[in-house]
Amino acid sequence: MSEPSAFLLSPQPRARWMRLDTAQLLKRFFFCERSLLVSESAWIPAIAPLDIKIGMARFIWQSAETAHALRNRVFELRFPSRLLEEQGADHALIELFGAVKDSPSVPAFLLSIGKVLLPALRDSYREYLEASDSIADGPTHRFLSLALSEKEEQIGAFERWAESSLSSNPELRESSVAWTKAVADQLSQVGGVGVGPSPSAPDAGPLPGSRPYVVPDRPARDPRFWPCRFYWPDVVDPAYPYGEGMQLQLRSAISHVNEVWAIEAGGVMLSAFADVLPWEWIHNAARWTYDESRHCRMGYERLMAWGLDPAEIPLGTYIYESASGQDPIYRLGMLYFFETKNIKHKPARAQLFHAYGDAVSEHDMDFDWADETMHAGYGKHWLKELLAVRGEDRAAYDQVRERCEKLVRDYVGTATAQEVADIKKAAALLITAARK
Ligand SMILES: [Fe+2]
Ligand SMILES: [Fe+2]
C-alpha cells in the first residue's frame, strides 16, 4: 500500500502545460502563421486565376487575425515581451515556413502549402485544443477553434488550386511533387510544428530545388478575361467620358474588377516590409489586401450577374506595372494615391446608383467607400512610418504620392495608338453586350 500524501493530489490532465509552456507554444504558432502569410502575400502577383488571388487574400487575412490573437494572448500570459520578438528555439521551423517563398513554380508553391504546411498547423491546433485546459486557457480556445476550422477550409482550397494548376501545367507535376516532399522531409527533420518542446534544431539550409523569390515585373492574368494594359478608354483618352446611366454602372464594375492590381500591390508591399516595419504593419496590410480582393470580387459578381462574358471584360495591368522596377515604397504609394484620388467620387456615385434603382452597385460602392476611408488612414500612417524607419522626413509621404502620380502618367504615355483603338473597340463591344 502506498503512503498517503501530505497534500491533495488528483490525476487531472488540466495541468499538463504551465503558463509559460503555453505561451511558448502560442508563440511558435504565431511565427508559423506570420511566415506563411508573408510567403502567400508575395505570390499573389505570380498566380493567374482571379479566384485564387481573391481566395488567397482572404486566407492571408485569416492568418493575420489568428496571428494577432496569438500574439495578444502571449502578452496576456506575461511572457517576456522581449522574447516575443524572437523566434528562439523554433528558428529552424519558422525558417522552413518562410522557405516556401522560394518555391520553384506556382503549383509547387500551392502543393507544398496545401499538403504540408497547412496540415501541420491544423494537426497542431487540434492537439493543442485537446490537450490544453479550457478553463485556464479559455481565451485561446475561442480563437484557436476558429483558426482550426479556417485551416480545414484553407487546405481544401489549396489542394483544389494545386490540382488545377498542375492540370494546366502537367510538365511541372514531377518537380512540384519533389518540392513538396522536400518541404515535408525538412519539416520532420526540424521536429514538425506539434505541441512538444522546441527541439532547437539547427537550420536545415536551403531546400533542394528552391528558386530565390523575385517580385514579378508583370502580374499574371487570368486567361478567361480580355488581356490588356489599359482597361478602359478614359485611362488613355481624357476626352472619353466616364459616362452616366448604364455606362457608369458598367464603368464602376470594370473599375472594381480591375482592383486586382490593388490585391497584388497589397501582397507585394506586405511582404516587402514585413521585416522592416512592426507587426501592426502586417496586420493592417493583410486586412487591406483582403479588402481590395473584396472590391475586385464585387465588380466580378456584378458583371457576371449582368450576363457578360469574361472574354469581353478587359483586365488591365498598367497600375501594377507603373510601379515595377521601383522601390517597393511605391506599391504602398500607389494604393494611397488611387484611394485618396477616387474617394471623393464614391458617395455621389452611390447616390446615382440609388437613383437608377441599381441597389447592388449602390451597396458595393457604399461598402467600398467605408473600406477606402480606412485605407487612406493606413496609407498615410505607414508611409510616414516607413520614411521614419529609413531615417527620412516623415512629411515626405506626399512626395511619394506625387511621384506615383508621375509614374502612372509616364506609363500611360507609353500607350500605343493600336492599344487605344483596341480598348475603345473592347469597351464598345461590352457596352453593346450590356444593352442586350
Ligand atoms: Fe479598393
Ligand atoms: Fe483600398
CB 266 within 8 A of CB 289: yes
The three cell numbers of residue 172 are 511541372
With CA atoms as reference, report the closest residue to 197 among 71, 20, 49: 20
CA of 433 to the centre of ligand 1 (A): 26
The rounded Å distance from CA 217 to ligand 1 centre is 21
How many angstroms does the Cα of residue 233 sit away from the middle of ligand 2?
A: 23
Count of residues for the chain?
436
* Phi, psi for residue 40 in degrees, rounded to 5: -60, -40
Ligand 2 centre and the CA of 262: distance in Å?
Answer: 7
The bound ligand whose nearest atom lies closest to the alpha carbon of 257 is: 1
What is the distance in A from the centroid of ligand 1 to the CA of 262? 7
Residue 389 Cα, ligand 1 centroid: separation in angstroms? 27
Give me ligand 1 centre to Cα 69, in Å: 26
Cα-to-centroid distance, 335 and ligand 2 (Å): 7
Give the distance (Å) from ligand 1 centre to CA of residue 385.
22
Burial of 56 by CB count in 10 Å (0-12 exposed, 13-18 middle, 19+ buried)? buried
**Run of H or E including 227:** strand 226-227
Separation of 88 CA from ligand 1 center, angstroms? 38
Specify the pLDDT at position 63: 98
- Residue 1 confidence (pLDDT): 52
Q: Which ligand is nearest to the CA of 256?
A: 1
Quick one: pLDDT at residue 2? 65
**Chain CA centroid to CA 77, Å:** 29
Beta-carbon neighbour count of residue 244 at 10 Å?
A: 11
Three-state DSSP state, 16: coil
- State the distance from the centre of ligand 1 to the C-alpha of 381, rounded, in angstroms: 18
Burial of 376 per CB tally in 10 Å (0-12, 13-18, 19+)? middle
8-state DSSP, 315: E
Round to whole Å and give the CA distance between 366 and 180: 43
Cα(371) to ligand 2 centroid in Å equals 6
* Separation of CA 380 and ligand 1 centre (Å): 16
3-state helix, strand, coil in the chain (%, to 5): 70, 0, 25
Question: How far is the centre of ligand 2, averaged over its atoms, from the C-alpha of 376 (Å)?
Answer: 7
- Report how far ligand 2's centroid is from the alpha carbon of 263 (Å): 9
Cα of 111 from ligand 2 centre, angstroms: 30
Centre of ligand 2 to C-alpha 310, Å, is 24
CA 368 – ligand 1 centroid, Å: 6
Q: Please tell me the distance between residue 292's alpha carbon and the centre of ligand 1 in angstroms.
A: 4
Task: Give the number of the ligand closest to the Cα of residue 255.
Answer: 1
Long-range CB contact pairs, 124-131, < 8 A, 24+: 124/29, 124/192, 124/193, 124/194, 124/195, 125/29, 125/151, 127/194, 127/195, 128/25, 128/29, 128/195, 131/13, 131/16, 131/17, 131/195
CA of 342 to the centre of ligand 1 (A): 10
CA 407 to centroid of ligand 1, rounded, Å: 20
| Distance of CA 171 from the midpoint of ligand 2 (Å) | 38
- Measured in Å, residue 285 CA sits from the centre of ligand 2 at 10
Contact 430, 225 (CB under 8 A): no
Q: Which ligand number lies closest to the CA of residue 372?
A: 2
Ligand 1 centre to CA of 406 (Å) is 21
Per-residue pLDDT of the chain (436 residues; tens, 9 = 90+): 567 889 999 888 898 998 889 999 999 999 999 999 999 999 999 999 999 999 999 999 999 999 999 999 999 998 887 777 787 889 999 999 999 999 999 999 999 999 999 999 999 999 999 999 999 999 999 999 999 999 999 999 999 999 999 999 999 999 999 999 999 999 999 999 999 988 888 888 889 999 999 999 999 999 999 999 999 999 999 999 999 999 999 999 999 999 999 999 999 999 999 999 999 999 999 999 999 999 999 999 999 999 999 999 999 999 999 999 999 999 999 999 999 998 889 999 999 999 999 999 999 999 999 999 999 999 999 999 999 999 999 999 999 999 999 999 999 999 999 999 999 999 999 999 999 8
Q: Are 314 and 274 in contact (CB under 8 A)?
A: no
